[in-house]
Structure 1
Amino acid sequence: MTSPDPVLRVLVVDDSNTIRRSAEMFLKQGGHEVLLAEDGYDALGKVVDFEPHLVFCDILMPRLDGYQTCTIIKRNPHFANVPVVMLSSKDGVFDKARGRMAGAQDYLTKPFTKEQLLQAVAQLASTLRGG
């Protein structure tokens, strides 16, 4: 039996209220602290204030898309090691490659299940502990 995962602060960035609320419910059931942001600009302020261990970020958002948001987070030396997981309804090779170029660690296709979301958190938590 593995030891229980540590409580992580997770920021969920998505312009869809439904996606934000689903992710919040799943993550809280997994025992994590959750903060929500409606778009990239909202997310950037909350990254600074909240200092999340992990960020789930939608790609298609108004004002500042997920790629731009990820790039800005990764360019800040204080947050460069925070894993970012891109969320998208598209499951294309191009989208995944572009996410990696922006600095994303992983990619999750919407709609996601509770198991997929918590699995992504668990995988990244193990790299946080190891790193």
Structure 2
Amino acid sequence: MPLSEQEQRLLDEMERHLLHNDADVVTAPSGDRALSYRNLVYGALLLLAGVGGLVAGVILSGVWGIVVGVVGFAAMLAGVMVAVTPVRRTSAAEPRERSAPKRQESASFMDRMNDRWDRRQDGH
């Protein structure tokens, strides 16, 4: 189904704006989440403990060596997950907005996209 003139014009405008501000899109912060220094340290320590457990599992023989090796690997995996998991930033200065009430579903897709575009341009 071909686009109407208004839809095509809006799409072209969005593409131009995206190309013009591409660096802003790439370097934009990912909302209210950031890596925590504390989690990085804890994750690194857990990773090192897991490596130690894995080495100990290789040195030990028998069933205990396998168990220690698996636990060491699990500790390494958990350490990486702890290190790279972002935490929520807390800012007392800005109260969080509640999600907007749902609109009618009768609005067309392009009307909703136009509304979202206008809100972004207004900085909301």
In the superposition, the TM-score normalised over structure 2's length comes to 0.22
Richer in strand (by share): 1
Which has more radius of gyration? 2
Richer in helix (by share): 2
In the superposition, the TM-score normalised over structure 1's length comes to 0.21
